[in-house]
Structures are given as structure tokens and as C-alpha cells.
Structure 1
């Protein structure tokens, strides 16, 4: 029997968002990435979107904050790609997000949720 696996659908992770397109923003996904819908993003040094890394400094604080969640899959493996993302005022399903996995030090899930909350993006479990 053949087994089919569906990829994450565009905006499947959204539980609710602000009226109109107030929650959404457009940006440039940095080349070399192939991301699925629901990936938490941050900005790199050249103001392009990259995967949120959740890295902390020696004091345990996030080095970079999240800027949003990728709305649909984006394949920028061949070069920079214009994409849409949820940047503010939304509720999202945490189970459908892609964010840094827990390390032995831990705290990546909590840091991701806190960083999104600063944008008004509430992650529901």
C-alpha cells in the first residue's frame, strides 16, 4: 500500500488573525533555504528572513528575536525569494510551527513562545 504524506498547507497554523491583512507582512527569504509553512523567522545581518535559531548569549537572553511565522512554503535554494509572513496580532497553533529543538540547556520552546508574544503572536498548545 502506498503511503502519502502531506506537507504543511499555507496558513494552516493560523487560528486567528487581525482584520484584513494587518497581521501579514512581506519580506525576502535569504537564499539557500527551503522552508515549510509555519517556520518561525528572524532577520539576518542584511535584513533578510532566515530560520529563527533561538540562540542565547551568556546571560541566557535571546540574541535575535523572532519577526514572524512563514505563511506558505518558500524554496529560496536558488536565490532570494519574496514571501509573506505573519508579523503581528495573531493566534497560532504551536504544534504546527517549526522552531528550534530543545538542547540540553533547554528553553528553546519557551524562548520562541516569548519572542512571538512580543509581536502579539500568541502560540496556543
Structure 2
């Protein structure tokens, strides 16, 4: 029997701005499930809560805004979490995407959205 180890929190981070300028505390919306560290998240316009950023949609979360720093369980309730939202470099190969981000073009679009907020992938 083989077991898969969970990705360590923060292991995707290469560098960030001094102090805590790259970080912010956000709310991950209930119903998001267990969300792994390094998941690309978007912000819902109405609720201002974050969810894994899907490839398409109309609630604002379809635009990638940040990368989740620590794994959280938002299955049944909102959870406060830390994200990297600006001025940082992350390991592209370690990022986790919503299941609808399922091909190279959609991944490239998410990476461009992250770049627009100051998150550079290497």
C-alpha cells in the first residue's frame, strides 16, 4: 500500500517582500472543502470570501488573486487563512488549481492573473 504525503504548508514559496507585506488574512468560503496549501484562489465579489479559482464563472472568483499558504478545511464553515496576495515568487510546479483548470491554456491564464497581482511563478 502506498500513501501520498500532503504538501507542506509554505513549501511552494521562493521569496516574499520584507515583513508581512506579501501576506494577508482572508476568509475561505464554507463549501470549498479541504483546500490544499499552494491552491490558487479567487475572491467572490459579493461575499468578499475566497475559493479555489475556477477556469470560468461570473462571481469574481474566476480571476486568480492569491495563493493559499496553509491547508484548510472549509467543508462546513468559513475559515480564516493566510494567503500570498502580492510581491512574492512561488514555485509554479507546486501550485494547485481548481479541477476546471485542466489544460495548459487555462493554467497559463491563471499564472498571468497571478502575475497581474504581483505573484511571480518560477
- The normalised TM-score by structure 1 is 0.85
User: What residue is the counterpart of 2:40 in the other structure?
Assistant: 40
- Structure 1 residues 56 and 110, CA, compared in 2 at 3 Å: closer, same or farther? farther
Superposed CA offset, 1:57-106 (max 9, x none): 9xxxx98421100001010112000000000011101111012221xxx6
User: What residue is the counterpart of 2:78 in the other structure?
Assistant: 80
1:83-94 alignment, distance < 5 Å: 83-94=81-92
Which sections of structure 2, spanning at least 5 residues, go unmatched?
Answer: none
Q: Provide the secondary structure at the position in 1 that maps to 2:64.
A: coil
User: What residue is the counterpart of 2:6 in the other structure?
Assistant: 7
Which sections of structure 1, spanning at least 5 residues, go unmatched?
Answer: none
User: What residue is the counterpart of 2:54 in the other structure?
Assistant: 53
Structure number with larger C-alpha Rg: 1
- Partner Cα distance (2:61, 2:28) in 1: 20
- Which of residues 52, 63, 66 is equivalent to 2:64? 66
* Residues 14, 89 of structure 2: 8 Å contact kept: yes
- Structure 1 residues 112 and 4, CA, compared in 2 at 3 Å: closer, same or farther? same
Equivalences, count: 116
- Partner Cα distance (1:28, 1:81) in 2: 6
